[in-house]
Structure 1
């Protein structure tokens, strides 16, 4: 049970597996003001940066669930580095359908709404772990600009225009699900650059070290095209943000 190896190659040095950089992640924590002792459940937690840094900075506790054994090893190492290994734990499992044993103060899925087959299902899944009055965190893409054609859609890693919504429509969707939007922190083009360009460097270094690997031709072709495709389409048209929600 694991995620595709190509993903762990691209993001082998990432601590945050989305375009929210460490400064914006810290902004999110300060904005939400989690109290010491709050419990956080992070589904599809990746390398656990949010859980670890919030435990250090705000005194929270938490559990992260992820399919990637590689990323969870990084998460445990990060927890030890920050001195919070006694406050966070990481579970190697499919986050789809995972429900906490006890209600938590914050239930999060930051960038992996596939675990609930989209935003509505992910919101409902997170609700099953949340205490009354707690916070839901959803990380999700949106269209910054309306893509003019199918090339722009596919260049932004979507299959169709309806895969994502414009930001006002995404906020309205949260409302239609019975949630108040109480905070949001959005990626910008610079934080997108840092996230995506690091994938290119990771891929190139892996290719140099593994020229005979069966994945090498695939990743070589990807790296050849990725920078131009990103600059032409994704950087211009695709936004991304973390949205804090409370049930009405």
Structure 2
């Protein structure tokens, strides 16, 4: 069980596998007003930066689940590095359908709503692990501005314009699903740059170290195309944020 190899190459040096900077992640943690001992479930936990830094800064506990063996190992190492391994644990496994044995104060899926077929299914999945009065975190793209054509949407790596809402429409949709939006922290172009552009140096260094790898042509093709694609499409049209939801 693992994610496609291209992601474990391009994001191998990332601590945060979303267009969030460490400052944005810290802002989100502070915005939640976490109390010591609060519990968090993170589905699609990546390299564990959210859970580990919040355990350090807010003295919470939690569990992360992720399909990537590499990212799970990185998360476990990060927990040791920050001295919070006794507060958090990371499971290499499929987050799709995962429900915590014990109810949690915060249930999160930050950038992996595909695990339950989209945002509605992911919110419903997270709600199964949530304590009464708890909060849900969902990280999701939205259109900063509507693409003028389907070709532009595909340049943002969407299948179609209809894949994402605008920000006002997304907030309205949360209400339609029966949730109050009580906080949000949004990526900006700088945090997008740090997420996307950092991949390019990682790919180049990987190519230099692995010139004979069978996967090298795919990585080379991506390095050739990604800077132009990102600057032309994603940076201008696509937003991303973490939305804090409380069931009504």
What range is the shorter-chain TM-score in? over 0.9
1:185 partner SS: strand
The more displaced of 212-221 and 110-119 is: 212-221
Q: In the TM superposition, what is the alpha-carbon distance from 1:85 to its structure 2 partner?
A: 0.3
Which whole-Å CA distance do the structure 1 matches of 2:215 and 2:21 have between them? 28
Q: Which residue of 1 aligns with 2:114?
A: 114
What is the correspondence of 1:127-206 to structure 2 with a 5 Å cutoff? 127-206=127-206
Which whole-Å CA distance do the structure 1 matches of 2:202 and 2:12 have between them? 7
Q: In the TM superposition, what is the alpha-carbon distance from 1:149 to its structure 2 partner?
A: 1.3
Which whole-Å CA distance do the structure 2 matches of 1:211 and 1:192 have between them? 29
CA RMSD of aligned residues (A): 0.6
Which whole-Å CA distance do the structure 1 matches of 2:109 and 2:28 have between them? 14
Q: In the TM superposition, what is the alpha-carbon distance from 1:215 to its structure 2 partner?
A: 1.1
TM-score when normalising by structure 1: 0.99
2:239 partner SS: strand
Q: Show CA shifts across 1:16-63 (max 9, x none).
A: 000011000000011111100000000010000010000000000000
Q: Show CA shifts across 1:96-145 (max 9, x none).
A: 00000010000000000000100000000000000011010000000001
Aligned pairs, how many? 248
Which whole-Å CA distance do the structure 2 matches of 1:151 and 1:236 have between them? 14
Q: Which residue of 1 aligns with 2:42?
A: 42
What is the correspondence of 1:223-242 to structure 2 with a 5 Å cutoff? 223-242=223-242
Q: Which residue of 1 aligns with 2:31?
A: 31
Which whole-Å CA distance do the structure 1 matches of 2:214 and 2:177 have between them? 44
Q: In the TM superposition, what is the alpha-carbon distance from 1:150 to its structure 2 partner?
A: 2.1
Q: Which residue of 2 aligns with 1:51?
A: 51
Q: Show CA shifts across 1:133-189 (max 9, x none).
A: 101000000000110112211110101011100001111111111000000000000
Which whole-Å CA distance do the structure 1 matches of 2:25 and 2:154 have between them? 28
Which whole-Å CA distance do the structure 2 matches of 1:211 and 1:150 have between them? 36
Q: Which residue of 2 aligns with 1:125?
A: 125
Which whole-Å CA distance do the structure 2 matches of 1:174 and 1:213 have between them? 45
Which whole-Å CA distance do the structure 2 matches of 1:75 and 1:218 have between them? 27
Q: Which residue of 1 aligns with 2:91?
A: 91
Which whole-Å CA distance do the structure 2 matches of 1:165 and 1:213 have between them? 39
Structure 1 residue runs of 4+, over 6 Å off? none
2:240 partner SS: strand
Which whole-Å CA distance do the structure 1 matches of 2:10 and 2:151 have between them? 23
Which whole-Å CA distance do the structure 1 matches of 2:35 and 2:175 have between them? 26
Which whole-Å CA distance do the structure 2 matches of 1:184 and 1:22 have between them? 16
